[in-house]
């Protein structure tokens, strides 16, 4: 339910950017904005054994995915001029099931640097490098016991489209990341995914 609600909120916010069609003239520009974002993502590959997940009257065997599911990030937006700047995000991305027959999780920390162009409706378009670190898979399952697997730090590419109406404090966006993870055990998985997010950005 959370991912669906987040998607609805983001879609509504991005649509309002075109409905209001208020021309951005740079008069509300702050050199630095500080805030944070929360989002949901889908992608990657299934990792490890599955667990029994019950919800909405249904029971399914599910595994965590290397591109899912939730992320929190602190955000700094540097506005170099009315039409361009840079976004710096730092936070954690994870997928976790804690069920009666097991506890499984795939998580990583991430820093992204995204140069962007801002159009006259305050839509920001950007693409830049991302660096994921402290990436790990953890499982505690009666069938296999305790499993811990660490993955090497990895570089990737992230593309970001966000709506940032500078007269208010909120933001919303969509993003896509392309990245691969490799562990010391030889496991190689894709963490590429698409995501939607909402957040706040306050003038500093």
Structure tokens at 24: 């951005």
**Residues 142 and 102 sit within 8 Å (Cβ to Cβ):** yes
Q: Report the pLDDT value the prediction gives residue 69, as an integer from 0 to 100.
A: 93
**pLDDT of amino acid 19:** 44
pLDDT at 10 over 90: no
Q: Which of 30-34, 38-42, 44-48, 99-103 has the lowest mean pLDDT?
A: 99-103
Residue 89's DSSP bridge partners are 75, 112
**What does the alpha-carbon distance between residue 145 and residue 71 come to, in Å, rounded to a whole number?**
27
Write the pLDDT tens digit of every residue in 68-92.
999 999 999 999 998 999 999 999 9
pLDDT per position as a tens digit, 128-176: 999 999 999 999 988 778 889 999 999 999 999 999 877 788 999 999 9
> What would the pLDDT profile of 11-25 be if each residue is shown by its tens digit?
554 454 444 444 455
Distances (CA, A) of 143 to 51, 69, 140, 150, 182: 10, 25, 9, 21, 25
Structure tokens at 132: 């994921």
Do the Cβ atoms of 76 and 50 come closer than 8 Å?
Answer: no
pLDDT of residue 67: 96
The stretches of the chain forming alpha helices (DSSP H) are: 2-20
Helix (H) or strand (E) holding 148: strand 145-151
Nearest C-alpha neighbor of 173 from the set 71, 95, 54:
71
């Amino acid at each position: 339910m959370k991912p669906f609600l987040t998607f609805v909120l983001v879609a509504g916010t991005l649509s309002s950017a075109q409905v209001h069609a208020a021309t951005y003239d740079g008069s509300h520009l702050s050199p630095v904005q500080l805030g944070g974002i929360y989002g949901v993502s889908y992608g990657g590959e299934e990792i490890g054994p599955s667990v029994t997940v019950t919800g909405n009257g249904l029971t399914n065997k599910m595994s965590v995915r290397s591109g899912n599911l939730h992320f929190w990030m602190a955000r700094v937006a540097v506005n170099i001029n009315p039409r361009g700047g840079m976004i710096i995000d730092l936070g954690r991305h994870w997928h976790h099931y804690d069920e009666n027959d097991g506890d499984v999780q795939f998580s990583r920390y991430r820093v992204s640097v995204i140069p962007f162009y801002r159009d006259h409706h305050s839509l920001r378009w950007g693409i830049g490098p991302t660096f994921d670190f402290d990436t790990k898979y953890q499982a505690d399952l009666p069938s296999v016991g305790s499993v811990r697997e660490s993955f090497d730090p990895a570089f990737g590419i992230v593309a970001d489209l966000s709506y940032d109406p500078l007269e208010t404090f909120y933001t919303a966006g969509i993003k896509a990341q392309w990245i691969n993870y490799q562990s010391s055990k030889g496991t190689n998985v894709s963490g590429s995914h698409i995501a939607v997010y909402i957040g706040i950005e306050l003038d500093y």
